[in-house]
Structure 1
C-alpha cells in the first residue's frame, strides 16, 4: 500500500507525520486498486447511496421549480418546496448509517458536501426566484447566497479537524450557520406560497425599492432579499458559533 506522508521540519531534523489516517488511506487505496466496469459504483457503501439520495432530492427540486416557471402550476412549486426537506432527511440518515455500519469513505464525505450544496444552496435560491425575487439585483444576491453556501462547505471540510471535539470525537459547534439551516428559508417560502404572497398573485412581502432607473428595471430590488443576504453572511461568519446537537 502506498504510504502517503508529509514532512515537517522540527529541531533541524525531518519528522514524518501521517497526512491521512490508516482507515482513510485504506479506503483511498480501494479506489486505486479496483479495476473493471462500474468500479466507482462497486466501491459505494450504503451510506454513500443515502447521500446520493440527498443530491437526487435537490436536483428534483430544481427541475420541479423549472416546471413551475414553464407552466405556472403551483403543484410543481409545492413539490419543489418539499424535496429539500426530503434531502435533509437523507442528509441526517447518511451519518447514522455510516456509524451503524462502522464504515465511512472519503468519497462519501465529498459527496455529502456536494449534495448539500445542491439541496440547500442551489435549490432554495431557485425557489426564491420562483416566488418572485426575480430582478437583476435579486438574482445577484441569490447567486451570492449560493456562493456563500459553497464557501461555508469548503471551509468546514478544510477546518473541521481544528474545531474542539467532545469526548466522543464529535465537533462541539459549527463555525457559522450550517448550510442545511436554509430549510428555514424554504419553510418561509412555503408559507408565502400558501398565502399567495408570490409573483403573479399577491406579490412578495415587504415590496421592493428602485435604487436607480425606472421601476421594474435593473435597479429594482425586493426588501425580502435582505433576509437571504443576512443568511449568507451568517453562513460564512467565523465568529458565529452554533452548538452542534
Structure 2
C-alpha cells in the first residue's frame, strides 16, 4: 500500500512538474510575428495604409520586407554612421486612430504612457537620453496604431508620467475595455536630430503568443506584451547596427 501511494505521489509530482514546465515555456512566447496590412500592401504592390503614410510620410515608400526575426517592414539607411550616435531624444509615444476608435481616449493615454516608460527604461541601459537635439543624438518617434479603424489620424500623444501612476491607471481600466486583444501594431522612425536625415524606419505587428502573461497583469495583456517586446527590440537593433552586443 505504501509503495502504491508513493508511486501515485511521484506520478502526480512528475505531472505537476510537466505542467509547470509547459506553462513556463509558453510564458516565454508571449507574442508572435503577425503580418500588418502594410506588409501585404508591399508584397502585392498596392497602396500603403493611411496609418503608415500618415506617420512616416513620404519615407514610407522606402519600406521593404524586414529581416528574419525583425520587424515586418523596415528600411535602414546604408550610409548612416551608427557608431557616431551615443544619445537618443525619445519623443512622447503617439496613438493614431480614427474618430470612431473603440479605444477610449483615457485608454489611449494609458497605453502610450506605458509604452514610453518601457522604451525609456530599456533605451537608458545603453544610451544617454536627452531632451534636446544635438551632435550624436538620434530622435526616436514611436506610434501605436489602431489600424482597424477607417483613415487613422493622430489622436493622442503620451504625457511623461511616473511608471507607478501608469500601472495604477492600467489596473483600474474598465473590465470591458480590451484594447488590441489578439494583436497590436506599432511604427518607428529614427532620424538624425540635427539635420532630420532618416536613419531607420519600421512597421511591425505582434499577435498574442498564448503565453500565461497574456491573461495576466493588464486587461490589455496582448498589447502590453507587444510593447514590452518592441521596447527591448528597438535598442537591441540599434546596438546591432553599431556592432555592439545586445542587451540581456
Structure with the higher fraction of residues in helix conformation: 1
Q: Using CA pairs below 8 Å that are at least 6 residues apart, which structure has the higher relative contact order? A: 2
- Confirm or deny a common fold (TM above 0.5): no
TM-score (norm 1): 0.26
**Between Structure 1 and Structure 2, whose CA radius of gyration is higher?**
1
Structure with the higher fraction of residues in strand conformation: 2
TM-score (norm 2): 0.26
